[in-house]
Structure 1
Amino acid sequence: VDIGRKAHYCYDEDDLKALLDRTTKNYSIQRFKGLGEMMPQQLWDTTLNPETRRLRRLTIDDAARANDVFSMLMSDKVAPRRQFIETYGHKMDDSLDV
């Protein structure tokens, strides 16, 4: 969120709401869909800086199954992806930013 000449980074909707509740100035919100959209300084500020980054450990119980699902989700074939989303979409964790 750009407020004046300063950039503020929000990690979730609660952070964004708290920030906007504290400001009376004009602001603009930019959301990055991928790292390739960022300028080098923005990438450092949001992802690489050890002072501000957040790292989370992920554990995969079945790596082969996870690989199959990711391959299907990233494939050009729409029908299997659509079927997967229709079957399992209701189980998505609302805290995920997808």
Structure 2
Amino acid sequence: YVAQPPLYSCRLGDTVHRAFSDEERDEITAELTKGGRKAENLRWNRFKGLGEMNVEELAVCALDPETRILRRLTMEDGATASHAAELFETLMGSDVARRREYLIANSALLDPAALDV
């Protein structure tokens, strides 16, 4: 299981609105602007990972059993699991040279429009 944190959050008074996709953020924005509030006055924060959350947000979004969302990850095929573990080690491990080689070798496969930079 892994915790699924929101991609976006927007504080409005004492209420925090969280969105897990661009579409959900847009739906919440549309709902919040029905009463005449301007969309440009809403401040959405974009999270790229758990490291960007403060302690309180992390506790609510990833640790509190009452408010967190957990996703079950499964890999039915042993070869797929082995490949995923190897790829995870390459991308998240401490061997910088290995990660760099992988990124250079596979950069042509990436769609630049899909990158969040």
Return the TM-score normalized by structure 1: 0.70
Instruction: Give the structure with the higher percent strand.
Output: 2
Paired-residue identity, %: 33
5+ residue gaps in structure 2?
1-9
1:3 aligns with: 12
1:65 and 2:83 equivalent? yes
Matched residue count? 91
Q: Which amino acid aligns with 2:105?
A: Q
5+ residue gaps in structure 1?
none
2:27 aligns with: 18
Moved more, 51-60 or 69-78: 69-78
Q: Deviations along 1:4-48, whole A, 9 cap, x unmatched? A: 342111111121011100123321111222323322221122112
Return the TM-score normalized by structure 2: 0.61
Q: Which amino acid aligns with 2:84?
A: A
Superposition RMSD in Å: 2.5
CA distance in 2, matches of 1:53, 1:45: 6
CA distance in 2, matches of 1:58, 1:85: 26
CA contact (8 A) 1:4 1:27 kept: no
1:42 aligns with: 57
Q: Which has the higher contact order (CA 8 A, sep 6+)?
A: 2
Q: Which amino acid aligns with 1:84?
A: N
Identify which of 77, 80, 84 aligns with 2:106: 84
Give the CA deviation at 1:85: 4.1
CA distance in 1, matches of 2:15, 2:89: 40
